[in-house]
Structure 1
Amino acid sequence: MPSYMRLRQICLVAPHLESLISDISAILGLNVCYRDGNVAKYGLHNALLPVDTILLEVVAPFRADTAAGRFIKKTGGRGGYMAIFCCDDPDARGKHANAIGVRTANVITHGPYHGVQLHPRDCRAAFIEFNHTQGSDDILGPYPPAGPNWQKSIRKDVTQALIGVEMQSPEPHDLAEHWGRIIGVTVGTNDDDAPELKLPNARFCFIKGESEIMSGLSFKVADIAKVRDTAQARGHAVSGNEFLLGGVKFRLTA
């Protein structure tokens, strides 16, 4: 099997699930494709929304003493929770991470899906997960965490794609090099001379900030003004072409 690495899913965490899902759906014109009962064992409930072929997930704790709840308390609700990558061999990627000092936090197997989650403290800024669904290397193929018919929920009339992830750190070059070593991507620079990791379907850019968090998501939309106006109408402060939602900046591009 040829080696590959793509962004498959971004996970945000919120204290309350339904209000954030309602805002994301209304502002970005996205449909919920699935609610995964398997996350209940972690004290969470969730919802997933496809943004073209990348899934946007929101999780929220429903009981005390969960990892997600501790994350919210630690960060004050700022920052994305997890970056999830599909690849050819999650176990090999996990072993490589272990060899450079990044521990495995959890291994999930729900045939034909297999995922390796890395320890967030070692990853820095956010969880990293590598996964693979056996028998499906098609980006529009089966993906059990998103439900049996996730493809049917894709909408592109408002939001066309999730194209970028912004990571923040007091030492952005160092964090970029660290993530690059973990996921096996060479660090480059973007048009603003900021370090970035370029994947086939998304870019991770690294900017300077007070703390290490996943600070923003960039979306390609059909009509920036319309999305911006909807965000304002739902009570969110808009600055330029971005607004804060679910603890991260949502940035709009045409």
Structure 2
Amino acid sequence: MAADRDAITARLHDAFGLDVAYHDPHIEQLDLVNAVIPVGDQFLEVIAPTKEGTTADRFRQRQGGDAGYMLIFQTDDHAAHRAAVDQLGVRVVADYSAEGFTNMQLHPADTGGTFFEIDQQEGDDAWHPAGRDWQRAVRTDVVIGITAVMVRCHDPEAVARRWGELLLRTPTTDGAGACHLDTDDAVVHFVPTPPDTREGIEQVTLTAADPDAAGAHVDIAGVRFELA
């Protein structure tokens, strides 16, 4: 979540050679603008509020400025995850279906950590939120995928357990206060943060096209991006 969408997309391009595939015109009615950016066959999204006092603007203010906002997971069995959501009593902030695509955004007060969303898309190459020809914007000269995300939590074990219940996965712990949840393409690391700090996305790890670049990092929009 950023104050200036175009400034952040420019920084992502300068750092990682990434290009924008799509700006969704439909979210303008929500007082938002966005940019969907492919990273291999995964995506980063930059969202910015267009008015003060909106939900998105208040989120930025609570975070103290630009910050990571949401993790989005793809599934091939949305109904199973929806059943878990309903059984656990987790509130659905928004849901949407169109053109073989179904999603639901979950309330962070019920999940902990940060907003997250579970989506299903029919078709191997389609991704409705990225437009019809997102593949034209894929650039893999510098980075080729997203391999991990680190989420700050007041109670990493409880948050990892709840996310695992919703994603139908079993989290692990490393004995050092952090927990981990593997998905098919990446791992979510849940790390502790003091009670007087905000929960949220701390770091995104990208797979470098050049292994010698591993370890390089840059802070963009309140998130550390590190190469591995």
TM-score (norm 2): 0.90
Query: Residue 22 of structure 1: SS of its match in structure 2?
Result: helix
Superposition pairs for residues 1-254 of structure 1, below 5 Å? 13-77=1-65, 79-134=67-122, 136=123, 138=124, 141-189=125-173, 194-210=178-194, 211-223=198-210, 241-253=216-228
TM-aligned CA distance change 1:79 to 1:181, over 3 Å: farther
User: Conserved in 2, the CA contact under 8 Å of 1:117 and 1:128?
Assistant: yes
TM-score (norm 1): 0.81
In 1, Cα distance between equivalents of 2:118 and 2:154 = 26
Q: Percent identity?
A: 30
In 1, Cα distance between equivalents of 2:192 and 2:201 = 12
Query: Residue 80 of structure 1: SS of its match in structure 2?
Result: coil
In 2, Cα distance between equivalents of 1:252 and 1:118 = 29
Q: Tell which deviates more after alignment, 191-200 or 122-131.
A: 191-200
Query: Residue 163 of structure 2: SS of its match in structure 1?
Result: helix
Deviation string 1:140-162 (CA, Å, 9 cap, x unpaired) is: x1111101111121111111211
In 1, Cα distance between equivalents of 2:116 and 2:30 = 17
1:120 deviates by 2.3
1:219 deviates by 0.8
Gaps of 5+ in 2: none
CA RMSD of aligned residues (A): 2.1
TM-aligned CA distance change 1:91 to 1:43, over 3 Å: farther
